Structure 1
């Protein structure tokens, strides 16, 4: 593996990206979202036609009010300046619970009522209570299942990806992608070790981590990240920063990954050679890097490719799928990304789709570029995954021309 790195002064490519509609809407979400998340299920479960005893109504309402007050306070303490892990776990868990309750209060509050009307169950307390118990039952089941899904070691997702410019000598190159591990308030050191053990069973030529390693500084989450040093690859272990690194001393994470034996591809590339053919493996900082104010951090694709033979195929690591517009314009063959978590808790993927061109899977962009977006290896915030399973991805690269021996 040959290292051919380069960085150039910032140019027009390094300009901060225009803020998307989702980012503009985010300014108002902290004010209105908590109220909606708790008020809607409170109304559906307690005031939608059920004639509950007064004690049930009072206690139930009090619980929703407590959730509305405690959730933002706990999240502020957990993710703000104080960085209190227990508060973060509480706030994140309440966020996940409220999202699931809100979603199914809306869906069953409308669809189940409609179905009951068609079935001849008219307006009244019976119909309201059926809806209530359905919402509670579905939400409880999904939260239990979602918690188990979030905490388990991800299943391996395998697929072949044909790259027309890939030389026959590189046909069958095994690339393993992990991303969005999000080591955080819940100690997942054992989970991290088991993920790395699973990666090592895949006999990878190249292992990639496309960012969002953790929530917190490298010093604070070191024990959870240390197993990454045990990951094996025959040719390269490469890493790029995600947006969450820029919330918590990104350079510390770059330094730790370097210490653990990974190649931080900060707007640079390495060459992977096999069978007389060569693949350029390039990486860029996250698109939010420049706005972080951290000196030297920015997404700079031209710098990442500087010195590379333009006739060679390029595998690009970029944390966010939306970087694919630049990748396609530059004729990149394959971009690997994470960031979206596949939505993590259904139906959040509809909101993610406002900000990103894809949520998960393999997609085609422009005349040449393919993008693979992982649903992520870990989880952020709420310890739940609902209809968005985590993954460790094995991509087997295929050339258009198979080698004669195969």
Structure 2
């Protein structure tokens, strides 16, 4: 979904693909840094030549350093390099976005009496002001403990004894190069305050091996749920030692639903809670790791409603084919940084929220509890989701 994810998987590719990938990366970097450079430095600003040359040299140096830092950070697992590269990616993405908008504004300003350099300098000032405000606000949004999003979901096949069942969904915590141990404790406190019956984590728990992220994951052991704490792998587990994370979550008292299910019973009625591996698991090379709905539902009573955990909304087709009542997913981050939302929608059927995909099957897609990579969230707030399951009311 991002430059960083592509970087992480690239060392496994063969030389011709690596060469093509390198050309694509350089082209993307040139575009991301080149458009802001043109808008803010050159264009019609008429800055002194020394200023133009100095700023251009600085931008070129940073641009050349960026892929090196990204490879060293996400390919070489250097937290220090990752922090710099990820922050730089967020900053340049915002500057690129608003520089493009600024160029459009400059064209419109040509219809006014304003001339250069005033016209271009007004655009430059606007781009810089908006970018700084959005980056400061976006960083605050990324680093704070997510707000609670409350959603009622009616499941017609749900028994009356399970009406009002409280399911708390967290996903995409992405414990990573920035130490968020305090943040993780805050998330646990919020979860416990919601008095959940079931707590579900739908993957992308961390970027890094278990030993690197022990302190950030530790508060998950304190999560309380009346009936079940369940977890499935996301795509990032397969960059970060999936087997280690599955085992560690089990040691913290969570049920790792590795293509399997359990049954929750209350008031004489039962609910199947199942989970499947992420859709990228089949390419990981780990034996037995792939999304397998049939294995997940093996032995389950077909008359019972099914709550399925699957990391990506893209996996909804499998849920529909197997008669799932409600799938819980994450992965999209709600786009995380506008306008990346539109690129996410090219890969996923849903960006966020509750959606229906067949007469029986619904999907809830979380915007994510943490963030990946750039420590910014812009027009895509994080969430801890409280889903209250409702039985269908009898016809009057």
TM-score under structure 2 normalisation? Answer: 0.93
**Structural mapping, 1:92-103, within 5 Å:** 92-103=86-97
Q: 1:48 aligns with which of 24, 43, 51?
A: 43
Q: 1 or 2 for the larger relative contact order (CA 8 Å, sep ≥6)?
A: 1
Mark the CA change 1:204 to 1:85 in structure 2 (over 3 Å): closer, same or farther. same
Secondary structure in structure 2 of the residue aligned to 1:281: strand
Please name the residue that 2:302 is paired with: 310
Q: 2:202 aligns with which of 210, 215, 222?
A: 210
Please name the residue that 1:125 is paired with: 117
C-alpha separation in 1, matches of 2:335 and 2:368 = 10
Deviation at 1:26, TM superposition (A): 7.7
Q: 1:113 aligns with which of 106, 119, 126?
A: 106
**Structural mapping, 1:370-389, within 5 Å:** 370-389=362-381
**Structural mapping, 1:35-114, within 5 Å:** 35-80=30-75, 82-110=76-104, 112-114=105-107
Residue 282 (str. 1) matches residue 274 (str. 2): yes
Deviation at 1:291, TM superposition (A): 0.4
Deviation at 1:248, TM superposition (A): 1.4
C-alpha separation in 2, matches of 1:41 and 1:221 = 36
1:48-92 Cα distance to aligned partner (Å, 9 max, x none): 111101232122212211221111111111111x31111000011
C-alpha separation in 2, matches of 1:280 and 1:176 = 16
Q: Is 97-106 or 61-70 further displaced after alignment?
A: 61-70
1:188-211 Cα distance to aligned partner (Å, 9 max, x none): 111101110111000000000000
C-alpha separation in 2, matches of 1:256 and 1:324 = 27
Q: 1:238 aligns with which of 230, 238, 245?
A: 230
Q: 2:129 aligns with which of 129, 137, 162?
A: 137
Deviation at 1:29, TM superposition (A): 4.2
C-alpha separation in 1, matches of 2:199 and 2:113 = 57
Deviation at 1:40, TM superposition (A): 0.6
**Is the contact between residue 121 and residue 127 of structure 1 (CA under 8 Å) also seen in structure 2?**
no
Residue 176 (str. 1) matches residue 168 (str. 2): yes
Please name the residue that 1:293 is paired with: 285
C-alpha separation in 1, matches of 2:51 and 2:45 = 11
**Is the contact between residue 158 and residue 395 of structure 1 (CA under 8 Å) also seen in structure 2?**
yes
Mark the CA change 1:230 to 1:121 in structure 2 (over 3 Å): closer, same or farther. farther
Mark the CA change 1:360 to 1:299 in structure 2 (over 3 Å): closer, same or farther. same
**Is the contact between residue 202 and residue 311 of structure 2 (CA under 8 Å) also seen in structure 1?**
yes
Deviation at 1:116, TM superposition (A): 2.7
Mark the CA change 1:348 to 1:171 in structure 2 (over 3 Å): closer, same or farther. same
Secondary structure in structure 1 of the residue aligned to 2:92: helix
Mark the CA change 1:143 to 1:398 in structure 2 (over 3 Å): closer, same or farther. same
Mark the CA change 1:27 to 1:333 in structure 2 (over 3 Å): closer, same or farther. farther
Deviation at 1:221, TM superposition (A): 0.7
TM-score under structure 1 normalisation? Answer: 0.90
Secondary structure in structure 1 of the residue aligned to 2:34: helix
**Is the contact between residue 272 and residue 278 of structure 1 (CA under 8 Å) also seen in structure 2?**
yes
Segments of structure 2 that go 5 or more residues without pairing to the other structure are: 1-19
Number of residues of Structure 1 aligned to a counterpart in Structure 2: 377
Please name the residue that 2:17 is paired with: none
**Is the contact between residue 187 and residue 224 of structure 1 (CA under 8 Å) also seen in structure 2?**
yes
Q: 1:191 aligns with which of 177, 183, 197?
A: 183
Please name the residue that 1:398 is paired with: 390
Segments of structure 1 that go 5 or more residues without pairing to the other structure are: 1-24
**Is the contact between residue 167 and residue 401 of structure 1 (CA under 8 Å) also seen in structure 2?**
no
Q: 2:27 aligns with which of 23, 32, 48?
A: 32
Please name the residue that 1:17 is paired with: none
Secondary structure in structure 1 of the residue aligned to 2:200: strand
